[in-house]
């Protein structure tokens, strides 16, 4: 596998802003998860340290091999294999993912439980943010429950949504490999095919667990990746992560909490009152997954590339990217639509929150810039979609979307702007983000039709009658010319 959980694409520096390219990975970003069976950080427990031939003492292999590590490795291997017979079926072993995420959070000391004081501050922050948001959006509150989560709570409460996101991709990858095998190989494999499916579930589970552990130690809210990952109507903030996020910002902790509470509440207003939005986002991921296919020529070369006497040759082949699924034109179109939709969500939230807190929080502009930089240098949103579907959430798209929403707000007001979310066909597309003035002009006419549908029907009828009248005049002229001839 590659260095991202589902093997669908490395970080693309061309998608970063020029000022951010030399920043490297910040403390808020990272690789977005480890590589399964790679021996790198976040790899499948025990497998990375497995010695190759000659690795045992006296064999002339690795002289520094620690024999005491062998027992630990075998124990971890036994635990992993026990998951394959635990009764869970499916393309991803979520029991393993959850266990690994909990273990890594414990190892990384991201186990702080919210205090009563932190919980009260978050509840007050959400309540205040909801009051401030009322005049800046036509959508009423979408928050019914307020929670303070630890990193472990975040993993447990978001796992059901991760299942919806990951299952289509992992299932299609597994199917694609089996479809690519020649019939003779399938018949010869026999029961091994089922075993490979279980091992694939373990591999995907380990990779998802690595990613969840990393995200759990970084995310600030339940919607920090741009999707409603938690239960419907549950606004949740992670106070321990927020405290780390606020270090060095030179802003009061209460101000940072209220700002992030406003972003969380704005996300929930949008997702709660635009019922098609959640399904559209998840369906686009599923559409991408359906297009996954495997280059069978890579499988044909496999036998010649792998040296049975050298287990490292298989590892090198997997890390080379040779066996990764290739992105088709249809998949790229799905990714583009997903990127645009996510940018529209985040851009709308940026504008609504800026209007709500701009004059009330002295550090609102600085906090907005920090969030934007965090996204640009590999924050949770960028790395989540990079590891899941190979999508880099480009900051320039976010800026363009925010500029479009700002233009619409200034021209037509809050109510008309938010009516664009009434139906997916009304939303801007990628070309509209490049030409916001054209979209704003078109929306000016469209929202007048929505306000007065009878007048719109009359205009359409008048245009149709004018077209028919013009056709009749042309026909009369042609008949007159025929008579003259």
283 pLDDT band, cuts 50/70/90, is: confident
39-58 tens-digit pLDDT = 333 333 333 333 333 333 33
Work out the percent of the chain whose per-residue pLDDT is above 70. 60
Q: Is the dihedral of CA 338, 339, 344, 350 positive or negative?
A: positive
pLDDT at 68: 54
pLDDT over threshold 50, residue 9:
no
Task: Give the pLDDT score at 313.
Answer: 60
pLDDT of residue 203: 79
Q: What pLDDT shows up at residue 174?
A: 73
Query: Scanning the structure block, which residue is given the tokens 């010869």?
Result: 188
Give the helix ranges, DSSP H, for 275-419: 275-290, 296-305, 311-319, 329-357, 364-376, 380-389, 395-418
The alpha helices in 85-238, defined as continuous H runs, are: 94-107, 116-133, 151-180, 183-189, 192-216
Give the pLDDT of residue 12. Answer: 44
pLDDT at 302: 56
Report field, pTM of the whole predicted structure over 0.85: no
Between 13-22, 294-303, 348-357, 452-461, the lowest mean confidence (pLDDT) is in: 13-22
Predicted pLDDT at 36: 30
Structure confidence by residue, pLDDT tens digits, 109-134: 998 999 999 999 999 999 999 999 99
* Length of the chain as a residue count: 485
Q: How crowded is the C-beta side of 42, counted as CA atoms within 13 Å?
A: 28
pLDDT at 299: 53
Stated as kind and residue range, the H or E segment containing 148 is strand 145-148
Give the DSSP H or E segment for 454: helix 453-484
Higher pLDDT, 463 or 335: 335
Residue in the block written with tokens 């977005």: 32
- Rounded to 5°, the CA angle 427-272-346 comes to 50
Q: Which two tokens stand for residue 170?
A: 């992992």
Hunting for tokens 């809050």 — which residue is that? 414
Q: Give me the chain's average pLDDT, please.
A: 75
Does 417 or 22 have the greater pLDDT score? 417
- Note the pLDDT tens digit of each residue in 181-223: 667 766 666 666 666 666 777 878 888 888 899 899 999 999 9
The whole-number pLDDT of residue 329 equals 83
Please give the structure tokens belonging to residue 282: 């998840």
Collapse the DSSP code of 237 into the 3-class scheme (helix H, G, I; strand E, B; otherwise coil) and give the result: strand
Cα distances (Å, whole numbers) of residue 281 to 145, 179, 271: 23, 28, 11
Binning pLDDT at 50, 70 and 90, where does residue 234 land? very high
How far from each other are the two terminal CA atoms of the chain, in whole angstroms?
79
pLDDT in tens, 80-105: 555 544 445 578 889 999 999 999 99
Rounded CA-CA distance 354/82 in Å is 51
Please tell me the predicted confidence (pLDDT) of residue 152.
96
pLDDT tens-digit series, residues 352-391: 999 999 889 999 999 998 988 887 777 776 777 676 666 6
Q: How far apart are CA 380 and CA 388, in angstroms?
A: 12
Residue 472 has pLDDT above 70, yes or no: no
Instruction: Compute CA 197 distance to the chain's CA centroid, rounded to the nearest angstrom.
Output: 25
Paired residues of 147 in beta bridges: 236
Return the ∠ at Cα 190 (arms to 186 and 193), rounded to 5°: 75
- Residue 248's pLDDT band (cuts 50, 70, 90): confident
Spacing of C-alpha 204 from chain mean position: 17
Contact 31, 4 (CB under 8 A): yes
Q: Which residue has the higher pLDDT, 483 or 380?
A: 380
Give the pLDDT confidence score for residue 291 in this predicted structure.
76
What's the pLDDT score for residue 171?
Answer: 80
Task: Determine the pLDDT at residue 361.
Answer: 94
3-state secondary structure of 240: helix
Non-local (6+) Cβ contacts of 432 within 8 A are: 404, 438, 439
What tens digit of pLDDT does each residue of 157-190 get?
A: 999 999 888 888 788 777 776 666 667 766 666 6
């Amino acid at each position: 596998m590659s260095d991202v959980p589902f093997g669908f694409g490395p970080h693309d520096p061309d998608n970063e802003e020029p000022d951010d390219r030399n920043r490297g990975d910040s403390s808020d970003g990272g690789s977005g998860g480890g590589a399964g069976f790679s021996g790198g950080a976040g790899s499948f427990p025990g497998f990375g340290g497995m010695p190759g031939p000659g690795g045992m003492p006296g064999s002339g292999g690795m002289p520094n091999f620690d024999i005491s590590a062998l027992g630990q490795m075998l124990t971890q291997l036994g635990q992993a294999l026990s998951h394959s017979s635990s009764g869970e079926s499916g393309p991803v072993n979520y029991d393993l993912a959850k266990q690994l995420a909990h273990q890594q959070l414990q190892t990384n000391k991201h186990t702080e439980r919210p205090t009563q004081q932190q919980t009260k501050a978050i509840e007050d922050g959400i309540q205040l943010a909801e009051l401030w948001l009322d005049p800046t959006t036509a959508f009423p509150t979408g928050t019914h429950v307020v929670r303070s989560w630890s990193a472990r709570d975040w993993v447990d409460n978001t796992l059901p949504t991760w299942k919806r996101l990951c299952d289509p991709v992992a299932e299609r990858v597994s199917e694609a490999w089996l479809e690519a095998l020649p019939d003779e190989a399938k018949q010869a494999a026999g029961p091994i095919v089922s075993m490979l499916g279980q091992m694939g579930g373990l591999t995907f589970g380990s990779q998802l667990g690595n990613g969840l552990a990393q995200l759990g130690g970084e995310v600030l809210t339940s919607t920090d990746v741009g999707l409603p990952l938690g239960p419907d109507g549950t606004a949740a903030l992670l106070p321990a992560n927020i405290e780390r996020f606020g270090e060095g910002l030179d802003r009061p902790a209460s101000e940072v909490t209220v700002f992030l509470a406003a972003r969380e509440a704005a996300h929930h207003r949008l997702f709660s009152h635009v019922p098609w939005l959640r399904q559209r986002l998840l369906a686009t991921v599923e559409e991408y997954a359906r297009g996954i296919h495997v280059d069978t020529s890579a499988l044909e070369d496999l036998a010649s590339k792998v040296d049975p006497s050298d287990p490292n040759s298989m590892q090198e082949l997997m890390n080379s990217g040779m066996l990764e699924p290739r992105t088709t034109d249809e998949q790229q179109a799905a990714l583009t639509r997903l990127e645009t939709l996510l940018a529209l969500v985040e851009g709308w939230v940026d504008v609504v929150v800026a209007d709500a807190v701009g004059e009330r929080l002295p550090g609102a502009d600085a906090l907005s810039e920090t969030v934007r930089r965090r996204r640009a240098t590999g924050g949770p949103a960028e790395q989540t979609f990079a590891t899941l579907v190979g999508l880099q959430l480009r900051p320039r798209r976010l800026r363009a979307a925010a500029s479009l929403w700002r233009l619409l707000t200034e021209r037509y007001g809050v109510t008309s702007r938010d009516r664009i979310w009434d139906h997916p066909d009304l939303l801007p597309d990628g070309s509209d983000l490049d030409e916001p003035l054209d979209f704003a002009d078109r929306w000016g006419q469209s929202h007048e039709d929505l306000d007065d549908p009878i007048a719109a029907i009359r205009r359409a009828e008048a245009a149709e009658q004018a077209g028919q009248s013009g056709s009749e005049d042309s026909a009369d002229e042609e008949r007159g010319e025929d008579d003259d001839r």
